[in-house]
Chain A
Amino acid sequence: MSILEIIVFLPLLAALVIGLGAPARATALGVSIAVLFASLVTAICFAPSVEGTMQMLSSRALLDLPGFPKLSLAFGLDGISLVLLLLSAIVMVAAVWIAPQESAIKKGSAKLYYASLLLIGGGAIGAFCSTDLFFLYAFHELALIPTFLMIGIFGHGENRVKTAWTITIFLGVGSLILLVGLIAAVVALGGSTFAVADLIALAKNPETGIAVDSQKWIFPLLLVGFGVLVSLFPFHSWAAPAYSEAPTPVAMLHAGVLKKFGLYGLIRIAMPLVPAGAEMYLNVILVLLLGNIIYLGLVTVAQKSLDRMLGYSSVMHMGYIFLGVAAGNALGLSGAVLLMFAHGISIALLFALAGWMRDRFGTLRFDELGGVAKSLPKLGLMFGFAAFASAGLPGFANFAAEVAVFFGAFQGEGETIGWLRWATIIALWGVVISAVYMLRAYRHLFMGPKPAKLETGADITWAVRIPVLLLVITLLLVGFIPETLNQFIRPAVEGILLIKAG
């Protein structure tokens, strides 16, 4: 067994063991901490200088029949997947740790709760570590039913069952479209293998690559499929209600980790396999991502409660990442990957704190809250960190990433002023928008007079402080020394661009 196989299957086995009767909370927490340690060990053993190649490979053949694509249970890491693996492991620990703070956990069986969390987290890890197209897709889908049950059983609000349906149907249909796109790509490449590396090699070769005519319609399928998963405008409408009504740990894992899968798939699968298609639709992507940044940014500003606002802000920030991907150069792409990490950590932090506040105050509406910072200073401090990080203030990982994205995108077309450059200029206003809504939220919640009805109680305890600090420290560490992650990202990104150039 390779270390990656252990990392992927440990959470899934733990979910099974919990189902068979092991103590739910202890097993879940123990396993997620073990996974985090194993991921850190992996990061230490990882050789960052090797360009673009997968490391720590392991492979077991599962299906090898003439006529069928070759299938194997294969895992491997490059810089991009390593960063996302770390993200998943960190957020999973924080989510499992903070879970018992929520009173909603009492609505159903704790076993189901923790087993579902482990399946969601383990699925994300499996998707990021897989080097086989099928398992990359399948591990992501593993989260579908646990999410449905988690929101439906343990969610907040009256509409939780309806919301559970919405997210499941949206993501289910999105993944079906994606599946057809992926199968079409595999068939167009000869239908001989599911191994991502082999598929890319085939796509690079002008003899076996996909004809431009086919790329023209395969790419939109992939774009819509991945776009739904990542809540690209106009396929975003599932995200905000789902995140505001989901149990806190699910919102953390889904918004922080799982949603990044769509972007990961675009970078890892769609762009290398159908490069001509990606180029053809570049302008469409630019328009859509501006929809995310500007239109949804303004929608975010208009929100009247914190959970909705966070849901929309997480959708909005996807636009930046798309911009980095669209830039098509090393700087933009590495910024996009770093932003995936930074956004994942910061949104998980925000959801963790918001969930705690909802439980304590009973509401998250701006007009019913205020002046909390005076009685709960530590909460105020932590939320301030999170809000500033999310708005992209220097010192946090988000800043380093956004700067790289904007510089990369601005350079993207060389000296000419084309669509990309205009899009970058417009997208820059997104920074202002996010500062507006984050600061407004902070003011509404923590400053000003405290409503008489509001009972604040005691400040956050260590049970909350530990997971929150874990996330804050990660943000600061990567913010001050982006090189901790950039050393892994850079060679991987250059490898991907080499694929495109070839």
Chain B
Amino acid sequence: MPVYFLEIIVVALGLVMLMVDAFVKLEDKRSIAWIGMLGLSVVFLLLFQVKGPENTDAAFWQFYSANDTTALFFKGIAVLTTLIVLVMAVDYSPVVVDQTAKPEKGAHPQSGLGEFFALPMFACAGLMWMASANNLVSIFVSLEAVTITFYILVTYLRRNVGSLEAGVKYLILGALSTGFLVYGFAWLFGITGSMDLAEITTALAKPDINTTAALFAFALILMASAFKVGAAPFHLWIPDVYQGAPTPITAFLSVGSKAAGFIVFLRLATPFLASEPIVGKVTMVLTVVAALTLLFGNFSAIPQKNFKRLLAYSSIAHAGFLMMALASAPDKLVEGSKLTPVTVIAFYLGAYLLMTLLAFLVMSTMRKVQVSEEIDSYRGLAKRSPFLAFALLIAMASLAGIPLTAGFWGKVNVFLLAIQQKEWLLVIVGLIGAGAGFYYYLKIAASMYLSPTEKNDDTSAIAISPLSRVTMIALIVAIIAAGFAPGLIFGLMG
């Protein structure tokens, strides 16, 4: 089966869910999510079965190269993220119902819930396409497919001012960054005369290219990509949008959107990094961006009091580590070596998916019993629900990069690459960032385990839905297993 069938299946699934929502009388609209979850599980399994299209010359599929295993790995990330986001969304649905419509007489009490499950499917299809897009046109179209879906999802809680504010901010800045991206594409096309990344790579590698124009194109593309992945100095939207968006969507943005942003940026930056005349300056800019992102993300996370904002800054900090890997791209690839920015970034994002989604799963479960998302409101969680506290502890340990967790290997790989390339500035900044990380991630653990509870705190046990519990256990096991044997994640890259 050719790879692109998968995207088609996912889009079809999304359409089926919309139709079911519109035409089938359901007691409980949460069953729509089950269609999505089952369908995505099948798609995830199919990922291990597919192979690339044999005939890439066929006119339409020139937009579309899926013949590398990296693309498959990122598709896997997209599918898995969406799957877990749906799990969260089911748990979160009472909040959505509460914050969307006050149904008129006779309308379904959960009206407006169905699309909340269907829209992520379209975003997922976009993310999957993005993973294998290798043409400026397909990159742009897939990127917009994702972004526009996110505009809707971020602002989904329409009776909630925070969600609306987040949506407006995301829309304006997102549209601006899209503008930069297209402008950059135009310049790139002007220099190289091609939309195809392979041809662009050859064109840029010529010694006589116009370096000023090429660097300008790179700067524009970097701005847009930095916006998508949340790298400094284009990270300012992240905390506000993350805080305002519905929790499952925040998780989706934080993992899916970031992963896709990075694969696109990797593909777009590779031609520039392979171009002899400008590679020095490109690397320098990337180094500066990476260092700034590491410092901004980690230091701004320290004083945060809101858990979602903290995770937002943490996602900036992780973008810093990922940029660090990209900035440490080797000048010359050692024959057969797998220690390249691509594998390192792919691994990091795989680990990041596990630990971030685990944290958000705990958070969306907690949202059912308490509205507050302040770190302080997690006090006494260790007594209320030892399981949730333990799950969050593992997520935080992994995010902080404590050994024997997946997150540790992510950081080790980045440092291996940076030290091998002798990027000492980045090593030092990364070290400072990781040190700060210890503090702010452990702050969550301290709140759960060490903070004394107060008199009128709710101390009743917390009910966890079986689905969430199973997902959390699976994520915990995966984090620890990958911490012992990082080969498990590398194995998925083929």
Q: How large is the interface on B (under 10, 10 to 19, 20 to 34, 35 or more residues)?
A: 35 or more
Tell me whether A65 is interfacial, beta carbon within 8 Å.
Answer: yes
Question: Nearest Cβ in chain A — how far from B375, in angstroms?
Answer: 15
Q: Cβ of A169 and Cβ of B439 under 8 Å apart?
A: yes
**A139 and B402 alpha carbons, distance in the complex (Å):** 10
Known: A62-B484, A66-B338, A187-B420. A137 touches B439 (CB 8 A): no
* Closest Cβ neighbor of B435 among chain A residues: A173
Interface of A is mostly: helix
One digit per residue, 1 when the CB lies within 8 angstroms of any chain A CB and 0 when it does not, for chain B 391-402 equals: 001000100001
Interface-facing stretch out of B44-52, B192-200, B485-493: B485-493
Q: Cβ of A65 and Cβ of B446 under 8 Å apart?
A: no
* Residues of chain A contacted by B435 (CB below 8 angstroms): 169, 172-173, 176
Interface-facing stretch out of B35-43, B92-100, B411-419: B411-419
Tell me whether B183 is interfacial, beta carbon within 8 Å.
Answer: no
Tell me whether A299 is interfacial, beta carbon within 8 Å.
Answer: no
One digit per residue, 1 when the CB lies within 8 angstroms of any chain B CB and 0 when it does not, for chain A 59-87 equals: 00011111111010100000000000000
Q: Cβ of A71 and Cβ of B438 under 8 Å apart?
A: no
Which of chain A's residues 97-121 have a Cβ closer than 8 Å to chain B? 108-109, 111-112
Interface-facing stretch out of A144-152, A456-464, A476-484: A144-152
Q: Cβ of B438 and Cβ of A68 under 8 Å apart?
A: no
Question: Nearest Cβ in chain B — how far from A220, in angstroms?
Answer: 14
Tell me whether A183 is interfacial, beta carbon within 8 Å.
Answer: yes
Interface-facing stretch out of A160-168, A246-254, A432-440: A160-168
One digit per residue, 1 when the CB lies within 8 angstroms of any chain A CB and 0 when it does not, for chain B 263-291 equals: 00000000000000000000000000000
Question: Nearest Cβ in chain B — how far from A315, in angstroms?
Answer: 23
Which of chain A's residues 174-202 have a Cβ closer than 8 Å to chain B? 176-177, 179-180, 183-184, 186-187, 191
Q: Cβ of B487 and Cβ of A176 under 8 Å apart?
A: no
**A321 and B412 alpha carbons, distance in the complex (Å):** 31
Q: Cβ of B442 and Cβ of A168 under 8 Å apart?
A: yes
Tell me whether A19 is interfacial, beta carbon within 8 Å.
Answer: yes
Question: Nearest Cβ in chain B — how far from A171, in angstroms?
Answer: 9
Contact of A187 among B382, B419, B431, B445 (CB under 8 A): B419
Q: Cβ of B449 and Cβ of A141 under 8 Å apart?
A: no
* Closest Cβ neighbor of A145 among chain B residues: B397
Tell me whether B337 is interfacial, beta carbon within 8 Å.
Answer: yes
* Residues of chain B contacted by A176 (CB below 8 angstroms): 431, 434-435, 438
Which of chain A's residues 1-38 have a Cβ closer than 8 Å to chain B? 19
Q: How large is the interface on A (under 10, 10 to 19, 20 to 34, 35 or more residues)?
A: 35 or more
Q: Cβ of B431 and Cβ of A67 under 8 Å apart?
A: no
* Closest Cβ neighbor of A62 among chain B residues: B485
**A109 and B384 alpha carbons, distance in the complex (Å):** 12
Contact of A179 among B337, B412, B486 (CB under 8 A): B412
Tell me whether A138 is interfacial, beta carbon within 8 Å.
Answer: yes
Tell me whether A142 is interfacial, beta carbon within 8 Å.
Answer: yes
* Residues of chain B contacted by A180 (CB below 8 angstroms): 415, 419, 427, 431
* Closest Cβ neighbor of B401 among chain A residues: A176
Question: Nearest Cβ in chain B — how far from A202, in angstroms?
Answer: 16
Tell me whether B58 is interfacial, beta carbon within 8 Å.
Answer: no
Q: Cβ of B490 and Cβ of A187 under 8 Å apart?
A: no
Q: Cβ of B419 and Cβ of A67 under 8 Å apart?
A: no
Tell me whether B12 is interfacial, beta carbon within 8 Å.
Answer: no
**A187 and B386 alpha carbons, distance in the complex (Å):** 41
**A137 and B483 alpha carbons, distance in the complex (Å):** 13
B residues within 8 Å of A by Cβ?
334, 336-340, 382-383, 386, 390, 393, 397, 402-404, 408, 412-413, 415-416, 419-420, 427, 431, 434-435, 438-439, 442, 445-446, 449-450, 483-487, 490
Q: List 5 A-B contacts (CB under 8 A).
A: A63-B490, A66-B336, A141-B404, A164-B446, A191-B420
Q: Which 9 pairs show the lowest CB-CB distances between chains A and B?
A: A67-B337, A67-B339, A138-B403, A152-B450, A172-B438, A63-B487, A141-B403, A62-B485, A67-B338
